[in-house]
Structure 1
């Protein structure tokens, strides 16, 4: 974190937090992790994920009410239980890796997400004809737990499983809300033990709370109105640019 929360910090942080809130509130959380690559352009990776976790937890709670009990309980349970070992592996990796490793991982996850979505749009990857079984839900939950710990990027792996379940848009959204509410709670203690939270990130979080709530509110209202194609189109371009830059920085 910068010693002073200056104009440059808020110029990056406010749009990142609002964007994450919109995704959390109305678009399946898939693009919420875009906030982390953006913040990692101006902060150390650990500071970026430490800053975002309390705000993401607030977004989860804010989004619970409008989607309360609209989720698919079985699918959510598999993802949540699977996330436990994923979060544990992420905790171990964080203990040994340096910041450039995390820049590289965050960048690769961002670019990989874009590649995954483009492949789906081109028909190279199709939703499973039959719903995936529970053990596959646990597997993808583990992947989601790991990528969520590293860069709050659990949305894409969770989507691979949930898309196979052929849920309607609102059930899909509600299932991601309850799943990541639980997964983000799991991450809080390891983040605390590993020293990822600081007084400076806490101060920044307090200042950014209104923008987190605003983003979720906008997302909930756009859930039934805005084209997902338009929203995610901007997201993919943004992730491709920031992810590429982070990969370059991690390698050089």
Structure 2
């Protein structure tokens, strides 16, 4: 009796993993999407490569990740513009692949090359990616994935500041009242992080955009949705009571218009 022995395939290097992810994501072009079988095959390849990336970044359950490989993978993903592909191809990815992406996104953002966060720097140079993620709340299939990715970004002051001051921020006043409850709740969690994670920055924003912000916020406090009203009132107290916002709070409570809103809410 003869036996055949097969050598296990050599593990991919970080450079190879980054290139494989880039190539398979780039393959999800318009032509591929139109052809169902080609799309299925392309998505399978993407899923395999994402699983490899997740294993390299967080270990396989038995072995811890190699710190040098993790750093190198993050560096290669930035160098090869994979970050941009990860975001823009998100709507077409399968459920399991999106789950792996959210997991990897959190790890990648924390990686330093030298003294710098390489993926953070990449996003700072491609801020339109944040606008894309915000707008994705309008797509309930990927809204929760985008919400997780946004909240990871908001932990960094520079990215939170951009979203606060961008036109995209106003969309949250709509998203927190979306008819799909879990999407609306997730949008509110992101909205809350934007207004509470970096108190000094928020104070500067509210000082510069007082009228426009509180005009919009009044709509939440007077919403027909009880949950929206209750959550918005609690959030209002959370950020107004932060020490850097004391001057904002004094201005707010002295306005008869907003006092009437508060009195109405107390009667409910």
Please say whether Structure 1 and Structure 2 have the same fold, judged by a TM-score greater than 0.5: no
Q: TM-score range by the shorter chain?
A: under 0.3
TM-score by length of 1: 0.24
Higher relative contact order (CA 8 A, sep 6+): 1
Larger Rg: 2
